[in-house]
Structure formats: C-alpha cells, structure tokens
Amino acid sequence: MLNKLAELKKSRNAVILVHNYQRKELQDIADFTGDSLELSRKAANTNADVIVFCGVHFMAETASVLCPDKKVLLPDLQSGCPMADMITAEQLINFKKENPGATVVTYINSSAAVKAETDICCTSSNALNVVKSVQNDKIIFCPDRNLGSYAQKVLNKKLILWNGFCPTHMKMLPEYVIEQKKKHPDARFLVHPECCPETVALADEVLSTTGILNYVAKSSHGEFIIGTENEITFKLQRTYPDKKFYPVTDLAVCPNMKKNTLEKVVNVLENMTNEVKVPAEIAERARLPIERMLKIS
Ligand code: 13P
Ligand code: SF4
C-alpha cells in the first residue's frame, strides 16, 4: 500500500496534509502535520497540483478557498465537524441583522458559506490576537461559544456569542479534571479552548493542538493531563516515552476525524474522487476573512 501511495503521489504531484487528530497511520504518511492554522498556511503555499486533506470537511473547504486552482481531496466526505454545522450562512445573516454594526469574527471551524458572511476568521491559536485586532466594541463571535468565552475573559471584552460548541471537547468535564489532578498532583494541565469555561479555568495553559505539542517539547515537566482529543495524548506518549500523559477522559474522541484511513487516501488519489470544491462566488467572499487572519497572525 505504501509503495502504491508513493507512486500515486508522484504521478499526481500531490501533497498530503494531516491534522493532529488524525489516525497514526495518516500522521506517518503526512508531508505536513499541524493545527488548523498551520495547515491553512501550508495549503496556501504549496506547489502541488493536488492536496489530499486528512482532516474534516471545513479544513478541505478552507484549502479549496485558498487554492481555487488546485484539486482538494477529502478521503472520506462524511468527515464533517458538528460544531461547524451549528451555524448556517442564513442564521449568521439574521444574527447580523439582530446586531447591526457588529464586526463578525468566525472560528475557522465553519463552512465556507459562513466565512463568506464574515469580517475576519480565527483559529484556536490566534483567536486572542484576531479579536484584539478588531477596532469595534461590538463583535459577533461564532460558532464556538467556548472559544469566544475564553477570548472574552482574557481580553476583558464583551463579545456577542453564538451558541455553538464541540461535542467532543464538551465531554471533558471539570470533575474529570479534578479527579485526574488528585491522582496526579504534579501534572501540568494543558487544555484546548474548545473545552467549557469551567474546565478551561482549571488549566495551567490554554493552547491549540500544535500549541500543546510544542509546549510539551519545551517543558521540563514529566507529567501532563491533556485536555483535547485523545490522539494528541497518544502522539505525545509515543514521542516522549519517559514522560507521562493522562487524558481527561477516554471519551475524548472525535469520530469524524477518525473516518479518514490510509486505504481511503490511496483510493481518492488513484481515482481522483471526493473533491471538495467551493463555488467561485462563495470562495471569493470567504477568501478575504481568511487572508485577513493569515496577515495578522
Ligand atoms: P486546532 O486548530 O487547535 O488544531 O483545532 C482544530 C479542532 O478542530 C479542534 O477541535
Ligand atoms: Fe469539530 Fe470538535 Fe472534531 Fe474539532 S474535535 S473537528 S471541533 S467535532
């Protein structure tokens, strides 16, 4: 299978971008792994003709918006993000009407159609800088109410929050964290800002997925409680066998991220199927808020 993949990659001039939550078998064949911001940057700058995006649908859409001339393939078209599906373009248009004059900051976990109604996008790693950059006291933040609450608290700035959330991160309850902290009192608790405010309040550091990986790489600590999808915990344990990593809960799995497999990657490259293509009219409007974000962070 790996030989076939190598041949296909060469003949198609393809690059394989893999999100940090993807199965190990995909991280192993990646040209680049990373968080949403890093992968958007890689997509924007690649010379490849084909991007195989091992992530969820909104990530492939973002790559298509940034590279309209390239073919973006998603190994499993069913790998969506429930949080991104919690707001539609029509709902955002109505929300803007209810809050006239507001600047719209949209988390990258959203559809291209929603981005097209947005002033500036953000990811988990640059949300604070993006919100800080907005020169308007009236800001709509969507769809993640938890990332919005976190930015609101750190920046001491009131935001108009949309009520979206990540079902996977909502499983990381504060009581589980307290239990783990009791069992491992010396562990640092690193959390993703998609967790609920009560869980985030218990954290030593609030970081994106790559932020968590980089923090551990530089830290002299030997034990960590990891408050994000469990692939990060597994990856850290493989990379640092002498350190200890504890998940907040074994329930912290994103089923959508796990739909992509090595077999499906080979299949889409062989047959050039599962293309994610954003219609030109939407892509043009969605590009601006993404590019604004890429400029400031
Ligand atoms: P990152 O940008 O931190 O990788 O987060 C993406 C995501 O979907 C987290 O659930
Ligand atoms: Fe979406 Fe949550 Fe999965 Fe991230 S972990 S892709 S936010 S459902």
Specify the 3-state DSSP secondary structure of 236. Answer: helix
- Which secondary structure element, helix H or strand E, spans residue 121, and what is its range? strand 120-122
Q: Is 83 in the pocket of ligand 2 (CB under 6 A)?
A: yes
Q: List C-alpha distances in Å: 46 to 40, 54, 191, 264.
A: 10, 16, 31, 22
Q: Is 209 in the pocket of ligand 1 (CB under 6 A)?
A: yes
Supply φ then ψ for residue 121, to 5 degrees. Answer: -95, 165
CA–centroid distance, 31 to ligand 2, in Å, is: 22
Q: Are 22 and 282 in contact (CB under 8 A)?
A: no
CA–centroid distance, 95 to ligand 1, in Å, is: 25
pTM: 0.95
- For a ligand 2 pocket test, name from 194, 249, 251, 260 the mutation site with the most ligand atoms within 8 angstroms of its C-beta: 194
Cα distance between residue 200 and residue 190, in whole Å = 9
DSSP type of residue 144: B
pLDDT tens for each residue of the chain, 297 residues long: 899 999 999 999 999 999 999 999 999 999 999 999 899 899 989 999 999 999 999 999 999 999 999 999 999 999 999 999 999 999 999 999 999 999 999 999 999 999 999 999 999 999 999 999 999 999 999 999 999 999 999 999 999 999 999 999 999 999 999 999 999 999 999 999 999 999 999 999 999 999 999 999 999 999 999 999 999 999 999 999 999 999 999 999 999 999 999 999 999 999 999 999 999 999 999 999 999 999 987
Residue with tokens 């429930």: 82
From the CA of 168, which ligand is nearest?
Answer: 2
